[in-house]
Structures are given as structure tokens and as C-alpha cells.
Amino acid sequence: MTQSILFVCTGNIFRSMVAEYALHAQFGTGHPYRVESAGIEAKPQIIHPVIRARLVQKGIDPVEHVQRKLTQELIDRVDLIIAMGHDHREWIQQRFGCKVPLFNQVSFGMEVPILDLHEALPNWEHDMEAARAYVESVVDHIWGAAPALVARLPHFL
């Protein structure tokens, strides 16, 4: 039986998308999971070149990624929803009545959100090097957490 995992962030072009690709890469082929991602807003946007370049360095080209907005239909068909931040978790609970764990909670047992760029660096436009470094560190964190997340999945499914 295939079980399904859905990662949720804001726009579905950064954190949740990276988590989806990281988990696919960690599982390889022939695994019993359907892994997807969505955003609570998912306004049409392109994947930022810094994010894309970091994923390409890891052997993944997200050029085929299609943003999706979180819907009741998606909620109804998945076994586990994982929020990237507190705001996503709260939004899902208020809108859909579902209690969901955070990415770092599933991966490491820590109640720590993965912040978006503007949350971590409110004035990021004034320091593009710091912004780039933060975005790359988030991609690396999510990618590096995939083995721990896989090991702890049975406790959440």
C-alpha cells in the first residue's frame, strides 16, 4: 500500500518543494511513498535561480516543478502533512481542522520552524550575500535532514 506525504510552505517554490525533491532523492526508486508538495498561497512565481542552482548541485533540476495550492482535495488524499513553518501549521489547522507536525519535528523531534527568507532576514534586499547564504543553508538543511526524516517517518504514519 502506497502511503503519501505532503510538504507545505507558502509559495511551493522553496521549502516544501526542496523537501519533496530531497525525500525523492533519499528514497531512490521503488519506495512505497507518494511524496508531494503544495503552498498555502502558491501565487505564480518562478523558482529563484539561487534555489534552482543549489538543487542542480545536488543532482536535481526542478525545471518541471509545478506550483500547487493546498486544497481540501490534497488534504483528503494524503496520509501525512508536514508543515515547514508555524504559520503553515496554524493555517492548515484553522482552514482544514488538521493538526500537522513541523518538518524539524518529524526529522529531529524539535519544535523549530524553517523560516522563509523574509522571516529570517527582514531586510534581505540590503544584503544579497547574506540572503544567498541563508537560502543555500535552508536547502542544505532540508537536504541533510532527509535521512533523519525517513528514519522517523514510521512514528508519524
pLDDT, one tens digit per residue, over 14-71 is 999 999 999 999 998 878 899 999 999 978 889 999 999 999 999 999 988 999 999 9
Under the banding of pLDDT at 50, 70 and 90, the label for residue 100 is: very high
Select from 80, 141, 137 the least CA-distant residue to 110: 141
pLDDT, one tens digit per residue, over 105-156 is 999 999 999 999 999 999 999 999 999 999 999 999 999 999 999 999 989 9
Task: Order the strands of the 33-39 sheet from edge to edge.
Answer: 33-39, 3-9, 80-83
Task: List the chain domain ranges.
Answer: 3-155
**What is the structure's pLDDT at 73?**
95
Q: Quote the pTM value.
A: 0.95
What is the per-residue burial (b if ≥16 Cβ within 10 Å, else e) of 32-66? ebebbbbbbebeeeebeebbbebbeeeebeeeebe
Residue with cell 519535528: 105
* CA distances from residue 136 to 3, 35, 79 in whole angstroms, order as listed: 30, 22, 29
DSSP 63: G
Mean pLDDT of 59-87: 95
The residue whose grid cell reads 533540476 is 61
CATH architecture of the domain with range 3-155: 3-Layer(aba) Sandwich (3.40)
CA 102, CA 108: separation in Å to the nearest integer? Answer: 10
pLDDT at 1 over 80: no
What is the structure's pLDDT at 71?
A: 96
